[in-house]
Structure 1
Amino acid sequence: MFRYVHTNIIAKDARKLIEFYKTVVKCKSINETRDLRGVWLDRLTGINKAHISGEHLLLPGYGEDHPTLEIFSYDVLKEALVPEINRPGIAHIAFEVDDVETTLKEIINAGGARIGELVTAAYPNGQEAVFIYAQDPEGNIIELQSWIDIESNS
Protein backbone atom coordinates (compact mmCIF):
# COMPACT_ATOMS: atom_id res chain seq x y z
CA MET A 1 0.00 0.00 0.00
CA PHE A 2 1.09 3.54 -0.67
CA ARG A 3 -1.20 6.46 0.18
CA TYR A 4 -0.96 10.07 1.24
CA VAL A 5 -1.70 10.44 4.97
CA HIS A 6 -0.93 13.93 6.29
CA THR A 7 1.03 17.15 6.13
CA ASN A 8 2.61 18.48 9.33
CA ILE A 9 2.95 22.09 10.43
CA ILE A 10 5.09 22.88 13.48
CA ALA A 11 3.43 25.81 15.22
CA LYS A 12 4.64 28.36 17.72
CA ASP A 13 1.16 28.20 19.29
CA ALA A 14 -0.51 24.95 18.24
CA ARG A 15 -3.86 25.67 19.90
CA LYS A 16 -4.21 29.03 18.16
CA LEU A 17 -3.19 27.64 14.77
CA ILE A 18 -5.50 24.61 15.16
CA GLU A 19 -8.40 26.97 15.84
CA PHE A 20 -7.49 29.04 12.75
CA TYR A 21 -7.50 25.98 10.48
CA LYS A 22 -10.76 24.71 11.98
CA THR A 23 -12.53 28.07 11.73
CA VAL A 24 -11.18 29.65 8.55
CA VAL A 25 -9.99 26.72 6.45
CA LYS A 26 -12.88 24.42 7.49
CA CYS A 27 -10.70 21.56 8.72
CA LYS A 28 -12.51 19.29 11.18
CA SER A 29 -11.43 17.79 14.45
CA ILE A 30 -11.41 13.99 14.36
CA ASN A 31 -10.37 13.77 18.01
CA GLU A 32 -6.82 12.70 17.21
CA THR A 33 -4.87 14.78 19.70
CA ARG A 34 -1.30 13.92 20.54
CA ASP A 35 0.93 14.46 23.58
CA LEU A 36 4.04 12.50 22.70
CA ARG A 37 7.33 11.90 24.46
CA GLY A 38 9.64 9.03 25.23
CA VAL A 39 12.77 7.25 24.11
CA TRP A 40 11.12 6.23 20.83
CA LEU A 41 10.34 9.88 20.00
CA ASP A 42 13.88 10.97 20.91
CA ARG A 43 15.23 8.29 18.58
CA LEU A 44 12.80 9.21 15.78
CA THR A 45 13.44 12.96 15.92
CA GLY A 46 17.09 12.93 16.98
CA ILE A 47 16.11 15.39 19.74
CA ASN A 48 16.90 14.57 23.37
CA LYS A 49 13.79 14.74 25.60
CA ALA A 50 11.54 15.66 22.67
CA HIS A 51 7.96 16.52 23.55
CA ILE A 52 5.34 17.32 20.94
CA SER A 53 1.66 18.03 21.29
CA GLY A 54 -1.10 18.94 18.90
CA GLU A 55 -3.88 17.55 16.78
CA HIS A 56 -4.70 15.96 13.43
CA LEU A 57 -7.41 17.87 11.54
CA LEU A 58 -9.37 16.34 8.68
CA LEU A 59 -8.77 18.28 5.48
CA PRO A 60 -11.96 19.62 3.88
CA GLY A 61 -13.47 17.72 0.97
CA TYR A 62 -12.18 14.22 1.75
CA GLY A 63 -12.97 11.10 3.78
CA GLU A 64 -13.89 10.69 7.41
CA ASP A 65 -10.38 10.15 8.79
CA HIS A 66 -7.72 11.05 6.17
CA PRO A 67 -5.91 12.93 4.83
CA THR A 68 -5.16 15.22 7.71
CA LEU A 69 -3.30 18.39 8.53
CA GLU A 70 -1.19 17.63 11.58
CA ILE A 71 -0.50 20.73 13.69
CA PHE A 72 2.05 20.12 16.42
CA SER A 73 4.32 22.14 18.65
CA TYR A 74 7.56 21.13 20.31
CA ASP A 75 8.44 22.35 23.79
CA VAL A 76 11.67 23.73 22.30
CA LEU A 77 11.47 25.39 18.90
CA LYS A 78 14.30 26.51 16.65
CA GLU A 79 14.18 29.93 15.02
CA ALA A 80 12.36 29.63 11.70
CA LEU A 81 13.21 31.08 8.33
CA VAL A 82 10.61 33.47 7.03
CA PRO A 83 8.38 31.47 4.65
CA GLU A 84 8.73 32.64 1.07
CA ILE A 85 6.95 31.33 -1.99
CA ASN A 86 10.22 30.67 -3.85
CA ARG A 87 12.19 29.09 -0.96
CA PRO A 88 13.26 25.49 -1.73
CA GLY A 89 11.26 22.85 0.10
CA ILE A 90 7.53 22.65 0.66
CA ALA A 91 6.28 26.10 -0.28
CA HIS A 92 2.54 26.11 0.43
CA ILE A 93 -0.65 24.17 0.94
CA ALA A 94 -3.53 24.84 -1.44
CA PHE A 95 -7.28 24.86 -0.96
CA GLU A 96 -10.02 25.14 -3.56
CA VAL A 97 -12.74 27.47 -2.27
CA ASP A 98 -16.03 28.83 -3.56
CA ASP A 99 -14.97 32.47 -3.23
CA VAL A 100 -11.28 33.40 -3.08
CA GLU A 101 -11.85 37.03 -2.05
CA THR A 102 -14.22 36.15 0.81
CA THR A 103 -11.89 33.45 2.10
CA LEU A 104 -8.92 35.84 1.90
CA LYS A 105 -10.84 38.36 4.03
CA GLU A 106 -11.55 35.62 6.60
CA ILE A 107 -7.85 34.73 6.70
CA ILE A 108 -6.84 38.37 7.21
CA ASN A 109 -9.53 38.91 9.87
CA ALA A 110 -8.22 35.84 11.72
CA GLY A 111 -4.65 37.23 11.86
CA GLY A 112 -3.30 36.04 8.52
CA ALA A 113 -1.99 38.14 5.65
CA ARG A 114 -2.07 38.51 1.88
CA ILE A 115 0.88 37.79 -0.41
CA GLY A 116 0.97 39.25 -3.91
CA GLU A 117 -2.10 40.03 -5.95
CA LEU A 118 -5.31 38.23 -6.74
CA VAL A 119 -5.04 36.96 -10.32
CA THR A 120 -7.31 35.33 -12.85
CA ALA A 121 -5.80 32.97 -15.40
CA ALA A 122 -7.39 31.28 -18.41
CA TYR A 123 -6.42 27.65 -18.99
CA PRO A 124 -6.45 25.87 -22.38
CA ASN A 125 -9.03 23.35 -21.13
CA GLY A 126 -11.80 25.98 -21.15
CA GLN A 127 -11.46 26.79 -17.48
CA GLU A 128 -10.52 29.95 -15.65
CA ALA A 129 -8.92 30.05 -12.24
CA VAL A 130 -8.73 32.74 -9.58
CA PHE A 131 -5.64 32.50 -7.35
CA ILE A 132 -4.09 34.27 -4.38
CA TYR A 133 -1.39 33.42 -1.88
CA ALA A 134 -1.98 34.19 1.77
CA GLN A 135 -0.36 33.44 5.10
CA ASP A 136 -1.87 31.88 8.21
CA PRO A 137 -1.27 33.69 11.54
CA GLU A 138 2.18 32.07 11.87
CA GLY A 139 3.30 32.91 8.33
CA ASN A 140 2.75 29.52 6.64
CA ILE A 141 1.76 30.04 3.02
CA ILE A 142 -1.70 29.05 1.80
CA GLU A 143 -2.83 29.14 -1.83
CA LEU A 144 -6.51 29.82 -2.43
CA GLN A 145 -8.00 28.88 -5.77
CA SER A 146 -11.40 28.83 -7.42
CA TRP A 147 -12.22 27.36 -10.84
CA ILE A 148 -14.98 28.05 -13.32
CA ASP A 149 -15.79 26.48 -16.69
CA ILE A 150 -15.71 29.52 -18.99
CA GLU A 151 -16.90 27.64 -22.08
CA SER A 152 -20.22 26.70 -20.44
CA ASN A 153 -20.66 30.26 -19.09
CA SER A 154 -20.35 31.88 -22.54
Structure 2
Amino acid sequence: MAYAPTPSNQIRALVLKLLHVSLTARDADALSAFYKRAFGFVERRPPKQLSGAIVSRGNGLPNSDIYAIWLNLPDVQGPFLEILAYSKTLERPKPAVNETGYAHLAFEVDDLYDSISTVVQSGGSLQGEVTNFGTQDQPHLIVYVRDPEGNILELEQPAG
Protein backbone atom coordinates (compact mmCIF):
# COMPACT_ATOMS: atom_id res chain seq x y z
CA MET A 1 0.00 0.00 0.00
CA ALA A 2 1.59 3.26 -1.11
CA TYR A 3 1.61 6.35 1.09
CA ALA A 4 -0.47 9.28 -0.14
CA PRO A 5 -0.07 12.53 1.80
CA THR A 6 -3.15 14.31 3.13
CA PRO A 7 -3.70 17.68 1.47
CA SER A 8 -2.47 20.46 3.78
CA ASN A 9 -5.95 21.96 4.04
CA GLN A 10 -7.18 18.66 5.55
CA ILE A 11 -4.71 18.20 8.43
CA ARG A 12 -6.42 16.68 11.44
CA ALA A 13 -5.38 15.91 15.01
CA LEU A 14 -3.92 12.45 15.45
CA VAL A 15 -5.16 9.96 18.02
CA LEU A 16 -2.04 8.30 19.40
CA LYS A 17 -1.16 5.53 21.81
CA LEU A 18 2.46 4.73 22.74
CA LEU A 19 3.07 1.11 21.71
CA HIS A 20 6.71 0.47 22.49
CA VAL A 21 10.23 1.85 22.80
CA SER A 22 12.91 0.13 20.76
CA LEU A 23 16.63 -0.25 21.46
CA THR A 24 19.06 -1.60 18.89
CA ALA A 25 21.55 -3.83 20.69
CA ARG A 26 24.92 -5.36 19.96
CA ASP A 27 23.80 -8.41 21.99
CA ALA A 28 20.01 -8.56 22.41
CA ASP A 29 20.06 -11.53 24.79
CA ALA A 30 22.59 -9.88 27.13
CA LEU A 31 20.75 -6.54 27.07
CA SER A 32 17.44 -8.32 27.70
CA ALA A 33 18.99 -10.12 30.67
CA PHE A 34 20.11 -6.76 32.10
CA TYR A 35 16.59 -5.27 31.91
CA LYS A 36 15.13 -8.43 33.45
CA ARG A 37 17.66 -8.43 36.32
CA ALA A 38 17.80 -4.69 36.99
CA PHE A 39 14.13 -3.74 36.53
CA GLY A 40 12.15 -6.98 36.62
CA PHE A 41 11.09 -6.96 32.97
CA VAL A 42 9.45 -10.16 31.72
CA GLU A 43 9.13 -11.56 28.20
CA ARG A 44 6.00 -10.41 26.42
CA ARG A 45 6.40 -13.16 23.81
CA PRO A 46 9.20 -15.52 22.77
CA PRO A 47 12.05 -13.89 20.79
CA LYS A 48 11.57 -13.86 17.02
CA GLN A 49 13.77 -13.68 13.96
CA LEU A 50 12.41 -11.15 11.46
CA SER A 51 13.63 -11.06 7.86
CA GLY A 52 12.52 -10.93 4.28
CA ALA A 53 11.04 -8.44 1.89
CA ILE A 54 8.13 -7.41 4.10
CA VAL A 55 10.46 -6.45 6.98
CA SER A 56 12.79 -4.56 4.63
CA ARG A 57 9.90 -2.68 3.03
CA GLY A 58 8.58 -1.62 6.42
CA ASN A 59 11.84 -0.28 7.86
CA GLY A 60 13.46 0.82 4.59
CA LEU A 61 16.64 -1.20 5.24
CA PRO A 62 17.44 -3.65 2.40
CA ASN A 63 18.04 -7.27 3.43
CA SER A 64 16.92 -6.74 7.02
CA ASP A 65 17.61 -9.64 9.35
CA ILE A 66 16.58 -8.84 12.91
CA TYR A 67 16.45 -10.76 16.18
CA ALA A 68 13.64 -9.20 18.24
CA ILE A 69 12.88 -9.50 21.96
CA TRP A 70 9.80 -7.89 23.51
CA LEU A 71 9.75 -7.18 27.26
CA ASN A 72 7.01 -5.93 29.58
CA LEU A 73 7.27 -4.47 33.02
CA PRO A 74 5.71 -6.97 35.43
CA ASP A 75 1.89 -6.89 35.46
CA VAL A 76 1.82 -4.19 32.75
CA GLN A 77 0.33 -4.87 29.34
CA GLY A 78 0.85 -1.30 28.08
CA PRO A 79 3.84 -0.03 26.12
CA PHE A 80 6.71 -2.51 26.00
CA LEU A 81 10.47 -2.47 25.51
CA GLU A 82 11.63 -3.92 22.18
CA ILE A 83 15.27 -4.98 21.91
CA LEU A 84 16.51 -5.59 18.38
CA ALA A 85 19.79 -7.06 17.13
CA TYR A 86 20.39 -6.62 13.40
CA SER A 87 22.64 -9.08 11.58
CA LYS A 88 24.54 -6.02 10.28
CA THR A 89 24.78 -3.28 12.90
CA LEU A 90 26.41 0.12 12.53
CA GLU A 91 28.47 1.23 15.51
CA ARG A 92 28.24 4.67 17.05
CA PRO A 93 30.00 6.26 19.99
CA LYS A 94 28.42 6.09 23.41
CA PRO A 95 25.51 8.59 23.32
CA ALA A 96 26.03 11.86 25.15
CA VAL A 97 23.38 13.15 27.55
CA ASN A 98 22.97 16.34 25.50
CA GLU A 99 23.02 14.68 22.06
CA THR A 100 20.07 15.42 19.79
CA GLY A 101 17.50 12.71 19.17
CA TYR A 102 16.06 10.26 21.64
CA ALA A 103 17.70 10.98 24.98
CA HIS A 104 16.81 8.42 27.64
CA LEU A 105 14.25 6.05 29.14
CA ALA A 106 12.90 7.09 32.54
CA PHE A 107 11.73 4.70 35.25
CA GLU A 108 10.01 5.44 38.54
CA VAL A 109 11.53 3.40 41.37
CA ASP A 110 10.64 2.86 45.03
CA ASP A 111 14.22 3.05 46.35
CA LEU A 112 16.69 5.02 44.24
CA TYR A 113 19.86 3.88 46.01
CA ASP A 114 18.82 0.22 45.89
CA SER A 115 17.98 0.63 42.19
CA ILE A 116 21.39 2.18 41.46
CA SER A 117 23.08 -0.74 43.20
CA THR A 118 21.02 -3.24 41.18
CA VAL A 119 21.81 -1.45 37.90
CA VAL A 120 25.55 -1.47 38.63
CA GLN A 121 25.54 -5.10 39.86
CA SER A 122 23.66 -6.07 36.68
CA GLY A 123 26.32 -4.59 34.39
CA GLY A 124 25.16 -0.98 34.08
CA SER A 125 26.98 2.12 35.28
CA LEU A 126 26.39 5.43 37.00
CA GLN A 127 26.22 8.48 34.71
CA GLY A 128 25.41 11.35 37.09
CA GLU A 129 24.93 12.08 40.76
CA VAL A 130 21.77 11.61 42.82
CA THR A 131 19.99 14.96 42.83
CA ASN A 132 16.99 16.18 44.84
CA PHE A 133 14.45 18.00 42.63
CA GLY A 134 12.03 18.26 45.56
CA THR A 135 12.46 19.74 49.02
CA GLN A 136 14.26 18.57 52.13
CA ASP A 137 10.89 17.43 53.58
CA GLN A 138 9.56 15.97 50.30
CA PRO A 139 12.58 14.76 48.31
CA HIS A 140 12.12 13.85 44.63
CA LEU A 141 15.36 12.08 43.77
CA ILE A 142 16.71 11.51 40.25
CA VAL A 143 19.87 10.09 38.74
CA TYR A 144 21.06 9.12 35.27
CA VAL A 145 22.59 5.68 34.76
CA ARG A 146 23.56 3.63 31.70
CA ASP A 147 22.69 0.09 30.66
CA PRO A 148 25.58 -2.23 29.63
CA GLU A 149 25.46 -0.96 26.02
CA GLY A 150 25.66 2.70 27.07
CA ASN A 151 22.00 3.68 26.65
CA ILE A 152 20.98 6.40 29.11
CA LEU A 153 18.32 5.70 31.74
CA GLU A 154 16.82 8.10 34.26
CA LEU A 155 15.73 6.73 37.62
CA GLU A 156 13.25 8.77 39.68
CA GLN A 157 12.10 8.27 43.24
CA PRO A 158 9.15 10.67 43.68
CA ALA A 159 8.36 12.37 46.98
CA GLY A 160 6.19 10.29 49.29
User: TM range, normalised to the smaller chain?
Assistant: 0.7 to 0.9
Q: Among residues 110, 119, 141, which one is paired with 1:98 in the alignment?
A: 110
State the distance in 2 between where 1:58 and 1:51 align.
23
Q: Which amino acid aligns with 2:20?
A: H
User: Taking structure 2 as the reference length, what is the TM-score of the superposition?
Assistant: 0.84
Correspondences of 1:27-106 after superposition (within 5 Å):
27-60=41-74, 63=76, 65-106=77-118
In structure 2, the partner of 1:139 is 150
- Post-superposition Cα deviations, 1:46-65, rounded to whole Å, max 9, x if no partner, equal 222110012110135x63x3
Q: Which amino acid aligns with 1:11?
A: A
Higher alpha-carbon Rg: 2
SS of 1:148's equivalent in the other structure is coil
SS of 2:114's equivalent in the other structure is helix
| Identity across the alignment (%) | 32
Q: Alignment length, in residue pairs? A: 145
SS of 1:40's equivalent in the other structure is helix
Q: Give the structure with the higher percent strand.
A: 1
SS of 2:39's equivalent in the other structure is coil
User: Taking structure 1 as the reference length, what is the TM-score of the superposition?
Assistant: 0.87
State the distance in 1 between where 2:101 and 2:123 align.
24
Task: Note the residue ranges of structure 1 that are not aligned, 5 or more in a row.
Answer: 150-154
SS of 1:116's equivalent in the other structure is coil
Name the Cα RMSD after superposition: 1.7
Task: Note the residue ranges of structure 2 that are not aligned, 5 or more in a row.
Answer: 1-14
State the distance in 2 between where 1:9 and 1:74 align.
11
Post-superposition, which runs of at least 4 consecutive aligned residues in structure 1 deviate over 4 A? none
SS of 2:128's equivalent in the other structure is strand
State the distance in 2 between where 1:99 and 1:17 align.
22
1:41 CA drift (Å):
1.2
1:66 CA drift (Å):
2.4
Q: Among residues 115, 119, 126, which one is paired with 1:114 in the alignment?
A: 126
- Post-superposition Cα deviations, 1:64-83, rounded to whole Å, max 9, x if no partner, equal x3210001100000012321
Preserved CA contact (<8 Å) 2:50 2:68:
no
In structure 2, the partner of 1:152 is none
